[in-house]
Amino acid sequence: MTLAGFTAIRPFRAPWHVRVGWLALFIYLAYATSHLELTWPRFLQGIGNGATFIGRMLPPNFERWELLLKGMAESLEMAIVASFLGIVLSLPLSVLAARNLMPAVVTWPVRMLIMLCRSFHPVIVAIIFVKAVGFGALAGIAALTVASVGFLGKLFTEAIEEISLKQIEAVRATGASFMNTIVFGVIPQVMFRFIGFSAYETDANLRNSTMVGIVGAGGIGGTLFAAFQRFDYDFVFAILLAIIALIMVGEVLQIQIKRVFKQ
């Protein structure tokens, strides 16, 4: 015997507009998928191509290790210099952009500048700089610096806006100058978070410094792109392994540095 007359009641049923939203999302995704021309034969051919590709990548070829080392060193140097410049530029900018320290007349233009730096991908910025200052590491450093200012400027500003104003008031009450207020009222409160953000951004710059070379802005990316176009896939694999190793070392260092500064 079935329980006639009883229907299951779902107490947490989604309201109609949420369901319409889901439906719209699914229709959009289906429509977007149809644009991709993902057909079965193409997929099978892709698997075949991928297998050939990976076959030619193995074993990695470290014969031209001098070229590899030179490119990696340049990437690393670019990342370090760009992170340094980015941090140095972001510190004053974030103080100027913090709404709890500055009037709106000052914060708005600075916030716009930071947003402009953040809205373009480093590679697009790198292309512009390659056209402006020529091929090489300089364009890469400039592009990564712009990206760092966009990212660090935003995070530093948010960190400063979240501080407690009581300490600022206390420092001001002693008759401290503006710079003293910053140094003794603001910086101690945000120091640890700043170190975390800076470490993260250095890590991001390291990743991006291996990429901007593809558009001619220096670093290992150029070497990699050249090897790719000459179908030296075994050298490409060697470069990829080197990049992954470098980034893993960077991640470990980042964790260690954060540990040292944890109070």
Contacts with another protein by CB under 8 A lie at: 28-29, 32-33, 35-38, 42, 46, 49-50, 53, 73-74, 76-78, 80-81, 84, 115-116, 119-121, 123-124, 127-128, 131-134, 136-138, 141, 207-208, 210-211, 214-215, 221, 224-225, 228, 240, 243-244, 247-248, 251, 257, 260-261
- If the CB atoms of residues 94 and 208 are measured against another protein, the closer one turns out to be 208
Least Å distance between CB 66 and another protein?
16
- If the CB atoms of residues 19 and 121 are measured against another protein, the closer one turns out to be 121
**Residue with structure tokens 């079935």?**
2
Least Å distance between CB 258 and another protein?
10
Q: How far apart are CA 143 and CA 123, in angstroms?
A: 8
Q: Which residues contact 180 (CB under 8 A, 6 or more apart)?
A: 171
- If the CB atoms of residues 163 and 212 are measured against another protein, the closer one turns out to be 212
The CB-side HSE value for 160 (13 A sphere, CA atoms) comes to: 27
Least Å distance between CB 71 and another protein?
12
Least Å distance between CB 173 and another protein?
24
Tokens describing residue 4: 């006639």
- If the CB atoms of residues 6 and 12 are measured against another protein, the closer one turns out to be 12
